[in-house]
Amino acid sequence: MTILITGGTGKTGTALARRLQRENIPVLLASRSGKAVESFKTVTFDWTDAATFGNPFQAASDIKGVYILTPSAALGIVDHVKTFISLARSRGVKRFVLLSASMIEAGQSELGQIHQCLIDSGVEYAVLRPTWFQQNFGVTYLTSIRDQNSTFSATEDGRIPFVSTEDIAEAAYQGLTAEPSLNKDLLIVGPELFSHDEAAKLFSTILGREITHKRLTIEELKNIYLNFAIRGEHAGRLAEADSFIANHSEEDIFNSSADKKFVGKHTLEEYIRHNRERWISTK
């Protein structure tokens, strides 16, 4: 049995591949580049190009489970993903695990429509709805922490149970292998809540220099995302997500009942200590 990991060269995909490898479960990593990751088998695959959808099944004849990761900025791909799910089922795939997000309910926006499609089609499935990744501090905030000693958000005093991509991979592993299949969505949270002010204080302690959190308006944040070359509509949606956090959306998720969530083990402190060098300028 092979597990196909779409977005396999990314953060959660690579962590999931390592987790499955520990159980001797073969994996096939799919991405547009098809670039090599460690010793894993890879294949080229593009959610926006249906001509690539048969590639994984040529590369492995026994794919039984698929981790569906659609790129966050991709809009207008729901029909493509549905087409792929039908093809995969016709090639013997039994189970799908979708990476969605804490703020997206079934049926809402693009990821929620894919979530709804899994429910309606009667396949074995799990939908992972993680809160914000700890790893964002090494991507979105990497240069601002390293070069300007600051983070930024419009989350005000809202707190977030930042989750590790390794814990998301663990939840994905369970969703792909649990018997019987989970057939539900799970909120994926880290073990502790932090406001952005508190996270900046933790950075200050670990890096040994003062890191501050700049409090922005939604419009200021949107402009920063636009400067990152994130497309307009997506930049707006990402920035608006901070207003939900300011209104305690992620604290409510953290406090939701145990049967609705998967609580990761890895702490934000562990993540920062382990990656400390990344935020130290070599200039």
* 239's tokens: 């920035």
Q: How far is the CB of 98 from ligand NAP (least distance, A)?
A: 10
> Smaller CB distance to ligand NAP: residue 31 or 155?
31
Three-state DSSP class for residue 99: strand
Q: How far is the CB of 221 from ligand NAP (least distance, A)?
A: 14
Q: Which residues bind ligand NAP (CB under 6 A)?
A: 7-13, 31-33, 45-48, 69-72, 74, 99, 101, 130, 132-133, 136
Residue nearest ligand NAP (C-beta atom): 10
Task: State the burial class of residue 275 (Cβ atoms within 10 Å of its Cβ: 0-12, 13-18, 19+).
Answer: middle
Alpha-carbon dihedral of residues 258, 262, 263, 268, nearest 10 degrees? -150
What is the chain's length?
283
Q: How far is the CB of 264 from ligand NAP (least distance, A)?
A: 13
Q: How far is the CB of 149 from ligand NAP (least distance, A)?
A: 22
Please check whether residue 152 is in contact with residue 270, taking contact to mean a CB–CB distance below 8 angstroms. Answer: no
> Smaller CB distance to ligand NAP: residue 12 or 155?
12
Q: How far is the CB of 96 from ligand NAP (least distance, A)?
A: 15
Q: How far is the CB of 16 from ligand NAP (least distance, A)?
A: 9
> Smaller CB distance to ligand NAP: residue 32 or 248?
32
DSSP assignment of 113-138 equals HHHHHHHHHT-EEEEEEE--BGGGGG
Sheet with strand 2-6: strands edge to edge: 41-44, 27-31, 2-6, 63-68, 95-99, 124-130, 184-189, 261-263
Q: Return the sign of the alpha-carbon dihedral for residues 109, 243, 150, 201.
A: negative
